[in-house]
Amino acid sequence: MRKKGRTKYFLVGFLCFFIFAYGFITVNINKRNPEKKESKFTMDLTLKPFDLRVDTTNYAFYVNSKIIDDMKEKCVDIYNGIFSK
């Protein structure tokens, strides 16, 4: 009997989290450009070509077609930096 109660609370919490996350993402993607420039946290999404970018004041996270090339370049730079010393 206890397991069913826990599962219900978990599902309700999980559903509430996804509703909150969906609303947060929707609001940040639909901001106007002047508001995005002043904000410390911005999100941009384009579907064709796929590009998801999350920018904060110090960091940027992005997912697009160039991510594999950028990772390869960074790995090569790190490898060269380690073995050149």
Pairing of strands 42-46, 51-55: antiparallel
Contact 44, 29 (CB under 8 A): yes
pLDDT tens string 7-58: 888 999 999 999 998 888 888 888 887 877 788 888 888 888 888 888 888 8
Q: Which residues contact 41 (CB under 8 A, 6 or more apart)?
A: 28, 54, 55, 56
Contact 19, 11 (CB under 8 A): no
Annotated domain spans of the chain: 2-83
With 0.75 as the threshold, say if the pTM is over it: no
